[in-house]
Amino acid sequence: MAEGGEEEDFCENYFLLKVEEASFLDFVRILWCNDLGQRNFFKAKKTAASGKLRSFRHRWIVFISLLLQKILLYLKKPMAAAGSALEMFLNFPAFNGGYLSLFSNLFTGRLVRPDKESERFASLVGNLDKRLNLDTKMVVREEYFAALAMMGAKLSYENQSFVQKVVSNRWQMELLGFYNFWNDFQELNTTSAIMFRDTTADPNLIVVAFRGTQPFAADDWRTDVDISWYEFKDVGRIHGGFMKALGLQKSTGWPEQIPPPPPSPPPPKSYAYYTLRDKLKTLIDENENAKFILTGHSLGGAMAVLFAAVLTIHRQDLMLEKLEGVYTFGQPRVGDDEFGHYIKRKFKTYNVNYNRYVYCNDVVPRLPYDDKVFFFKHFGPCLYFNSQYKGQVLEEEPNKNYFSPIQAIPKIINAGYELIRSFVLPWMKGEEYREEWLMKVFRLTALVFPGLTDHFVVDYVNLTRLGKFT
């Protein structure tokens, strides 16, 4: 990658949308004017440099992407406040000895306020699915890896104390790191990941799990619906937001090494790709038999597969030989067809096992839009499971762009079935499949917006335990 120069000199081509700069008049221009020029909210290079959006379909997709991002931008603070309040409310029983003690403490003035950094404080994701134990029935190596990867991806949503307790006490494993990483473009810590080691596995297995889209985090959802991309020579077009979260550098792109930080304050910034790569190198040097897997749910799945992609760009042969597999759950699209061919070729060369799980009508794997204009594509086989947890290996998930009027009624009917199933499943499969009351409430909302609850971790944990391929 090129070094120095302007912000985008490191790539061959790019198409960038900056929703913060878009005015109401700009939205009108998108729909009625096919020549945007280089306006504040729109930046492109090479073939797109003139700002030409040739068809109405082209402009319509840009309009929808910007509109959704604009709405999420306005809702950012209310969503965060609602999510924080809901998490506090959900954690009151755990901090007060259960519901009966909670009511007693409330009326006697002894109410204990939840501490967000405590090992007892569970995130919204953790409250939607409170299962913490691993499935001990897994004996097939690939099934065990998939189930462990999903539980690691779920655990990555929790705070450090919570993660430490689960990894050490429940799983009898070793927590190697809990990270919050810097985004060079947003100038914030936007990416989180955990790293732990299963010393009972053969070979010794290290798991890197990236945190995914948090339900009330508007910025995470903005990234999912963004259609911005960068194009790299001989690699293809890759989603801009995902790369920035992984550690893309503003003016140098993906240099193999970044300059060391200055010796004086402020403290050095930590970037996801570089920090995790160097940590893994150290661990592999210490134990030549060690292997590692990459995993993540939602946005975390995009981080996982792009981490492996950048390893191939930097020709990290030894690390790629130690990469046992990439496991993603509800992963959005990360690049175009050229990128897909590139990464499939590299994964085949290094014998990397790529497993992309999709549950039923989950909306996120259908984002960003797969369109002949914007080129976002999935690659590799899709491990697709329906609402009965029956799996198929497909080239692409059904209804690949989600927004289909023809599919609306079947999706609503399926959401109704999932609501009924939430009451029936524990009687059929055991108490570990009993859903929390909050999850049932969200199941009701799926009757209006089917596919939203299909993205939650509950069904992805279930499919790794109950799923069977037909």
Per-residue confidence band for 50, with pLDDT thresholds at 50, 70 and 90:
very low
Among 54-63, 117-126, 350-359, whose mean pLDDT is lowest?
54-63
| Catalytic residue (choose from 65, 192, 455, 459) | 455
Residue 104 has pLDDT above 70, yes or no: yes
What pLDDT score does 46 carry? 60
In percent, how much of the chain has pLDDT > 90?
A: 67
pLDDT in tens, 325-355: 999 999 999 999 999 999 999 999 999 999 9
Per-residue confidence band for 304, with pLDDT thresholds at 50, 70 and 90:
very high
Residue 1 has pLDDT above 50, yes or no: no
| Catalytic residue (choose from 26, 220, 336, 362) | 362
* Mean pLDDT for all residues in the chain: 90
Q: What are phi and psi of 210, to 5 degrees?
A: -95, 135
pLDDT in tens, 162-186: 999 999 999 999 999 999 999 888 8
Residue 49 has pLDDT above 70, yes or no: no
Query: Distance between CA atoms of 160 and 340, rounded to whole angstroms?
Result: 35
SS (H, E, C) the chain: CCCCCCCCCCCCEEEEECHHHCCHHHHHHHHHCCECCCCCCEEECHHHCCCECCCHHHHHHHHHHHHHHHHHHHHHHHHHHHHHHHHHHHHHHHHCCCHHHHHHHHHHCCCCCCCCCCCCCCCHHHHHCCCCCCCCCCCCHHHHHHHHHHHHHHHCCCCHHHHHHHHHHHCCCEEEEEEEEEECCCCEEEEEEEEEEECCCCCCEEEEEECCCCCCCHHHHHHHHCCCEEEECCCEEEEHHHHHHHCCECCCECCCCCCCCCCCCCCCCCCHHHHHHHHHHHHHHHCCCCEEEEEEECHHHHHHHHHHHHHHHCCCHHHHHHEEEEEEECCCCCECHHHHHHHHHHHHHHCCEEEEEEECCCCHHHCCCCCCCCCCECCCCEEEECCCCEEEEECCCCCCCCCCHHHHHHHHHHHHHHHHHHHHHHHHHCHHHCCCHHHHHHHHHCCCCCCCHHHCHHHHHHHHHHCEEC
What pLDDT score does 305 carry? 98
Per-residue confidence band for 29, with pLDDT thresholds at 50, 70 and 90:
confident
In contact, 115 and 95? CB cutoff 8 Å: yes
CATH topology of domain 119-259+269-469: Rossmann fold (3.40.50)
Q: What is the dihedral sign for C-alpha 371, 372, 374, 375?
A: positive
In contact, 170 and 225? CB cutoff 8 Å: no
Query: Distance between CA atoms of 45 and 167, rounded to whole angstroms?
Result: 47
The number of CA neighbours under 13 Å toward the Cβ of 145 is 25
What pLDDT score does 54 carry? 65
On the question of a cis peptide bond just before residue 203, with omega within 30 degrees of 0, the verdict is yes
Residue 48 has pLDDT above 60, yes or no: no
What pLDDT score does 302 carry? 97
In contact, 399 and 364? CB cutoff 8 Å: no
Per-residue confidence band for 34, with pLDDT thresholds at 50, 70 and 90:
low
CA distances (Å), 443 to each of 155, 306, 458, in order?
Answer: 22, 32, 11
Residue 112 has pLDDT above 90, yes or no: yes
Across 17-31, average pLDDT: 82
Region for residue 37 given its phi and psi (left: phi exceeds 0; alpha: psi -120 to 50; beta: otherwise): left
Per-residue confidence band for 406, with pLDDT thresholds at 50, 70 and 90:
confident
**Angle in degrees, CA 45, 344, 394, rounded to 5:** 110
Taking each helix axis as running N to C, give the angle between helix 457-466 and helix 141-155, from 0 to 180 degrees, rounded to the nearest 10.
160
Among 130-139, 145-154, 352-361, whose mean pLDDT is lowest?
130-139
What pLDDT score does 2 carry? 39
In contact, 276 and 180? CB cutoff 8 Å: no
What pLDDT score does 468 carry? 93
What pLDDT score does 109 carry? 86
Q: Which amino acid is at 10?
A: F
Better-predicted residue by pLDDT, 188 or 350: 350
pTM above 0.85, yes or no: yes
Q: Which residue has the tokens 């055991």?
A: 430
| Catalytic residue (choose from 219, 298, 336, 378) | 298
Better-predicted residue by pLDDT, 268 or 13: 13
455 is catalytic: yes
pLDDT in tens, 225-262: 888 899 999 999 999 999 999 999 988 899 999 887 77
Per-residue confidence band for 129, with pLDDT thresholds at 50, 70 and 90:
very high
Across 53-76, average pLDDT: 84
pLDDT in tens, 310-322: 999 999 999 999 9
What pLDDT score does 38 carry? 60
Q: Which amino acid is at 465?
A: R
**Angle in degrees, CA 396, 402, 403, rounded to 5:** 145
What pLDDT score does 36 carry? 65
Q: Which residue has the tokens 């914030």?
A: 188
Residue 371 has pLDDT above 90, yes or no: no
Across 104-127, average pLDDT: 93
